[in-house]
Structure 1
Amino acid sequence: MDSDSESEDLLLDDEGVFDDFTVASSWERLISEIEATCRKWQTNLAEDCLVCGAEVCDGYGRLHKVHCDLNYGNKSYRLDFYFEVDKQGTADDWLMDCHHLQVSFGVQDFLVLAPVSMSGVILDAPEATLLLSAVSVALSNCGSIWPAFVPVHDPTRKAYRGIQGMRGPYCRSFEADRIGSQVPVKLMHLEGLYDLFISKLAFCSPDSAAEYDGKVSFSVRLTYHTPMPGFEISSAEDALTPTAKAVEGFDGDTSFKRQWDEECPWAEWYTVDDPIKGFELIATWANRIAESSLDMAEFENISVFEADKWLLAPIMTQVSEPLMESSNVSFAYRMRKLFEAFSISKEAKFMGDFCTGDSLIMKRITSSTMVPPTSVLDRVLKSLLPEGEVVSTLFEGRRNHQIAQDVKGAPTNSLFAQFCLHAMWFGDCNICAISVLWIEFVREMRWYWEELQSFPRMPRGGKPDFKSCLVHQKLQLLAACIERKAEEQHQHTQAVTMKRLNNDNTGWQGGADPSLPAEGTFEEGNNLESQEGSLMLLRTRDRMRLPTTQKQPLMTEDMLLEREHALVVLGDSPSGKMTRAKLQASMLSSDMSAFKAANPRASFEDFIRWHSPRDWVENDVFQDSLESLSPSSSSNNFENLSWPPKGRLSDRMAHPDNSWIQLWESVDPVPADKQKPLFDHTREGEKSTIGRL
């Protein structure tokens, strides 16, 4: 019984307390922990390592990592395993999203063992060797050939030592260092780097030692950054490529550098940080072979145009996303609010539907609907429409004008361009505030129309510019309507005044002057101008009179499209073709009627000589003699010339089916002021202020 109880006690002691003497030391326990962790990662990598909580490495799109914490002695370490989920290409490919260890050593999956400290590097060389040996033994036990690295030296040097067990009796050791200052001149050239690389190589065989022949396969990647500190980029208009010139006396201070948007229209309103800090051009030469340092020296002089691959990438300004999201003055914030309003704008019938936050449409807007007070609105309108300023300089430099045309926008400093700048600030660019500002702006435009006052920031005598935006074209059309209506009223006032003066003069003389027109037959302007000295009617040899014609109709881009659509709808029927021809020839028909009224006995040839001189082929001798005569020349001089002159219509005008001849025969002589207006400025002005703005 005693012996049995003693044996049971010994058995319990063996089961309760078991010491594994194979991992007795702390170094051996570290190897055991690394081995267990690596076996776990090997198993998960074969299935799906992302399930284990792997995270994406910042800046490396395809690279993921997992980690575990280790203890050795009184120090803590972190073991990171970097792996690629989508292994595209080979380890020799030089991809732009590679880790710097992948670029330096051509590896794909690797381990990094680093201390948990402020520096994150190992400054003691024996400690680094001990850790590498522990990882090497653990990986050998796992049958893995993952390379392992430990960071050494100063953190700014990004120096690493590493080891990789190979199949068979071989292993590879890695050593990387980076020199940031006081670089030896020799290492600044490929020849010196080649010599350093060869000196670090060692090839050992168990049986014999072979001498390395010096043949090296290498790849080169050169990066060029812009802008270059200390250099100024200048480009002439006639030069194909810009040139970089060194700035004299450059001391490294870039605080007074010229801002990128100084010449842009918004410069006086808001200084926007350039989202693109610069550009970098990366030129890559892959898989080159060098057998000696002379080959490297020759390769150093190779042109960048001979590179295998170019990559041009922007260098973005680093701005934290929370700051950008919370900033009410950022471009992204304002653009998001406008896009949100645009998405529901089709459901609104009137601009007034956006003016209050109580409407059903505005309740779907998640952003602010705050509208500034009336005092702010009045200040904005006074800034937009300053009193006494009729015309402002629109184009401040060719570059700004070109920018407006490229984006089909309003010209710099024009009325609508200033409105847009105010709208971006008024109420933090919310659709409710913009709607209120727009409605008040249209009311002001209505006042200018009713009072026949010229718009500020709009040039006189202009016509809609199809290179600008549609709203600017509408404002140009309305400004032209105001100008024409004011001119019409001025002419009418002058005619009435002249008529009253004629009547007063007739009563003072006590009788009618036969040289003055009768009261009932007075024609406003009489539709005639001075005689042309060198032109006479072919049939009667009377002096040709220049008629007053109607001004050309003004159209915006959408009006022109509506007109073209109406012409297409007419179809190809005979009546449709006739109506289309009349609409297309309305301006020509008006000119013919005015010419017939001014010259009742004129022929079609006379009209061509006045309206389209290129279609009248004149005898050179007669033309020279005719032009030498002045209006005061004696009529006997004309009698000495052969009449009619030896001239003819051009081939296209003399063709029997020419529509101009048919139109000439069909129109009646009607002065321009008695014709139906080709362009009703009153109607178009009303439509612009009510429906189209």
Structure 2
Amino acid sequence: MAADDDAEVFEITDFTTASEWERFISRVEEILHEWKLVSSPPRLPAPKGAYTNGTWEEKTEELTFANFKFSLTHSWLKSKDEKTEKSAEKESGEEDDDNDREITPTVYGDLMNMDNDFPSRAHCICRWYGLQDFVTLSPANNTEAVLGESKAKLLLSSVNIALTDAGCCVPIFVQIHQKWRRLYQGTCVLPGSNIEFGMVHLKRIPAQYNHLAGLLDVFKSKLGSVADPRPPVSVAVRFLYGLYDWVNSPWTQALPVRSSKVRKLNDYDDEVGCSGFDQLPFGACEDPVSALSLYCTWPSLSEDMIVENQVYSDLDPLQAPLWSVRIQMTEDPQCLLATTTLTTETTIFK
């Protein structure tokens, strides 16, 4: 009997073998569970000044995706314990509706809260979006970077799947390009909705977007509301004036004047010590300040109250309600007192 030349060839594919991509998503999901971000209850918006004066904490875990090492970091603002918050609410006579807190995620409350806009000391994500709880995914090595749009989209899709499978409402931001650029793309998965955080770096700002009117047009075009008329938009404005070309020249400082009432060491004429601490050399040999920044801020305004376009602006820096100054110090400046050695001498008379 002849063999059948048309015998079927069976090929078995093992779908249980996880790929690098699947293991990466699974590891992200495991870390979210280990950090208990899946079961974390919604938090109230942070009080005014909490981002600057409060205590921030971080947790970091390393994971690998196709021989590329990443660092997953959870940053959050440390708040009071639940018992303290409840006792404070009872003393003030305020009662929270538990149902409202359950359906209002923390990210929504943070985005709508304007009490902590422009914090002076905070993570850049917190400064840009006003978030008190977020996760960042960045390359573990400072010299490496996520370059290319396809890689960035792959990472965003991966963390999106991990957030969806875990049911986590904490936003995750993926850092792309070089670290010094601080460029992030983020996503947040909520019950019934998603939030996408996008950024763009431009060498030159288009003329139509170089004022508040143009920025409001971009913002309104992204809204899905069809209500007519639309409610006015609340804005917070800050102008930055920086002096970075700081003239760094040596200071000419006269040497301290020695007093005639100095001690003599044996029969030598060498002067030892000085008559008082006011004669010690003091000051910096070079300017310790390398940069100066001035911030003019309007904390909360309605778009109906101000006009700023290409030909006219109501935003006069001299009339800004809030001014703040920030200085950047020179790295390791040379100071005279730091190079002076003070010694004490004890003489015993018999």
Question: TM class by shorter-chain length?
Answer: 0.5 to 0.7
> Counterpart in 2 of 1:67?
60
1:190 alignment counterpart? 212
Query: Structure 1 residue 130: deviation in Å?
Result: 2.3
Distance 1:145 1:281 in 2: 37
Sequence identity, in percent?
A: 25
- Deviations 1:408-441 (CA, angstroms, capped at 9, x unpaired): xxxxxxxxxxxxxxxxxxxxxxxxxxxxxxxxxx
- What SS does the corresponding residue of 2:198 show, helix, strand or coil? strand
- Partner Cα distance (1:202, 1:191) in 2: 16
In 2: Cα distance, 1:107 partner to 1:124 partner: 27
Q: Does 1:203 align with 2:224?
A: yes
Contact 2:294 2:325 in 1 (8 A): yes
Q: Residue 265 of structure 1 aligns with which residue?
A: 254
Find the counterpart in structure 2 of residue 295 from structure 1: 307
Show the counterpart of 2:233: 216
Query: In structure 2, what is the equivalent of residue 613 of structure 1?
Result: none
Residues 33 and 70 in structure 1, CA contact (< 8 A), matched pair in contact too: yes
- Which of 141, 165, 178 does residue 201 from structure 2 map onto? 178
Q: Displacement, 1:111?
A: 1.1
User: Which residue identity lines up with residue 143 of structure 1 in the other structure?
Assistant: G
CA offset digits 1:444-474 (Å, max 9, x no partner): xxxxxxxxxxxxxxxxxxxxxxxxxxxxxxx
Cα 1:73–1:279 change in 2 (3 A) is closer
Residue pairs, 1:133-148, within 5 angstroms: 133-148=157-172
What is the deviation of 1:228?
6.5
Q: Which residue of 2 aligns with 1:81?
A: 74
Q: How does 1:23-38 map to 2 (within 5 A)?
A: 24-38=18-32
Q: Aligned residue for 1:475? A: none
The alpha-carbon deviation at position 97 of structure 1 amounts to 0.7
Contact 2:249 2:286 in 1 (8 A): no
SS at match of 2:36: helix
User: What's the CA shift for 1:318?
Assistant: 2.2
The corresponding residue for 2:147 is: 123
**TM-score (normalised: structure 2):** 0.61
For the pair 1:97 / 2:121, whether they are aligned, the reply is yes
Which SS does the other structure have where 1:295 is aligned?
coil
* Distance across 1 between alignment mates of 2:155 and 2:126: 21
In the TM superposition, what is the alpha-carbon distance from 1:148 to its structure 2 partner? Answer: 1.0
The higher relative CO (CA closer than 8 Å, separation ≥ 6) is in 2
* 1:159/1:175 contact within 8 Å kept: no
CA contact (8 A) 1:62 1:97 kept: no
Kept after mapping to 1: 8 A contact 2:38/2:169: no
Give unmatched runs, 5+ long, in structure 2. Answer: 1-13, 41-51, 81-108, 258-280
Q: Deviations over 1:235-261 (max 9, x none)?
A: xxxxxxxxxxxxxxxxxxx5xx765x4
Distance 2:160 2:287 in 1: 49
CA–CA separation in structure 2 for the residues paired with 1:128 and 1:280? 33
Cα deviation for residue 278 of structure 1 reads 5.0
Which of the residues 31, 35, 44 maps onto 1:41? 35
Residue 131 to residue 211, structure 1, CA distance change in 2 (3 Å): farther
Q: Secondary structure at the match of 1:272?
A: coil
Partners of 1:212 and 1:170 in 2: how far apart? Answer: 25
2:186 is matched with 162
5 Å matches for 1:286-435? 286-290=299-303, 295-297=307-309, 300-319=313-332, 330-332=336-338, 334=340, 354=345
Aligned position for 1:283 = 296
Cα distance, 1:157–1:228 mapped onto 2, change above 3 Å: closer
Equivalent-residue separation in structure 1 for 2:312 and 2:285 (angstroms):
43
Uncovered stretches (5+) of structure 1, i.e. residues with no partner? 1-18, 47-58, 230-253, 342-353, 361-693
Whether the 8 Å contact between 1:61 and 1:97 is mirrored in structure 2 is no
User: What CA deviation, in whole Å up to 9, does each residue of 1:245-302 have, x standing for no partner?
Assistant: xxxxxxxxx5xx765x44x53499997122233543322211222269x834398442
What is the alpha-carbon distance in structure 2 between the residues aligned to residue 156 and residue 227 of structure 1? Answer: 18
What is the rounded CA distance, in whole Å, between the counterparts of 2:220 and 2:231 in structure 1? 7
RMSD after superposition:
4.1
1:314, distance to aligned residue in structure 2 (A): 3.4
Secondary structure of 1:42's match? Answer: coil
Contact residue 114 and residue 120 of structure 1 kept, 8 A = no
Cα offset, 1:210, TM superposition? 6.6
Report deviation, 1:103.
Answer: 1.9
Residues 659-693 of structure 1 show CA distances to partners (whole Å, capped at 9, x for unaligned) of: xxxxxxxxxxxxxxxxxxxxxxxxxxxxxxxxxxx
Name the structure 2 match of 1:107.
131
CA distance in 1, matches of 2:256, 2:38: 57
**DSSP 3-state at the match of 1:281:** strand
Displacement of 1:176: 1.4
CA contact (8 A) 2:29 2:163 kept: yes
Structure ranking higher in helix proportion: 1
Work out whether residues 34 and 135 of structure 1, in 8 Å CA contact, stay in contact via their aligned partners in 2.
yes
Counterpart amino acid of 1:131?
L
Q: 1:84 to 1:225 in 2, by over 3 A?
A: same
Flag the 1:74–1:316 CA change in 2: closer, same or farther, 3 A. closer
Give the direction of change, closer, same or farther, for the CA distance of 1:227–1:68 in structure 2 (3 Å limit).
closer
Letter in 1 for 2:57: H
Shift of the 277–77 alpha-carbon distance from structure 1 to 2, 3 Å rule, reads closer
| 1:600-659 C-alpha deviation (Å, 9 max, x unpaired) | xxxxxxxxxxxxxxxxxxxxxxxxxxxxxxxxxxxxxxxxxxxxxxxxxxxxxxxxxxxx
The separation in 2 between residues aligned to 1:316 and 1:60, in whole angstroms, is 21
Q: Deviations over 1:79-123 (max 9, x none)?
A: 111112248x96540221122211222212111112345554322
Structure 1 position 45, deviation (Å): 10
Give, in angstroms, the shift of residue 170 of structure 1. Answer: 1.1
Q: Deviations over 1:169-203 (max 9, x none)?
A: 11111111233x4343344333333334444x253
2:130, 2:329 → 1: CA distance? 28
The CA distance in 2 between the partners of 1:116 and 1:279, in whole Å, is 32
CA distance in 2, matches of 1:318, 1:228: 16
Shift of 1:214: 7.6
SS in 2 for 1:149: strand
Letter in 2 for 1:70: L
SS of the residue 1:280 aligns to: strand
User: Which structure carries more strand by proportion?
Assistant: 2
CA contact (8 A) 1:285 1:308 kept: yes
* Cα distance change on mapping 1:188 and 1:290 into 2, 3 Å: same
Query: Structure 2 CA distance, aligned partners of 1:147 and 1:65?
Result: 15
- CA displacement at 1:146 relative to structure 2: 1.0
Offset, 1:31: 2.0
Distance 1:291 1:158, change over 3 A: farther
Number of aligned residue pairs: give it.
268
Q: Work out whether residues 225 and 280 of structure 1, in 8 Å CA contact, stay in contact via their aligned partners in 2.
A: yes
Shift of 1:65: 2.0
- Give, in whole Å, the separation in 2 of the partners of 1:299 and 1:170: 39
Query: 1:212 offset after TM fit, Å?
Result: 9.2
CA, structure 1 residues 138+211, in 2 after alignment: closer, same or farther (shift >3 Å)?
farther
Change (3 A) 1:318 1:198: farther
Contact 1:220 1:284 (8 Å CA) reproduced: yes
Structure exhibiting the larger radius of gyration computed from Cα positions: 1
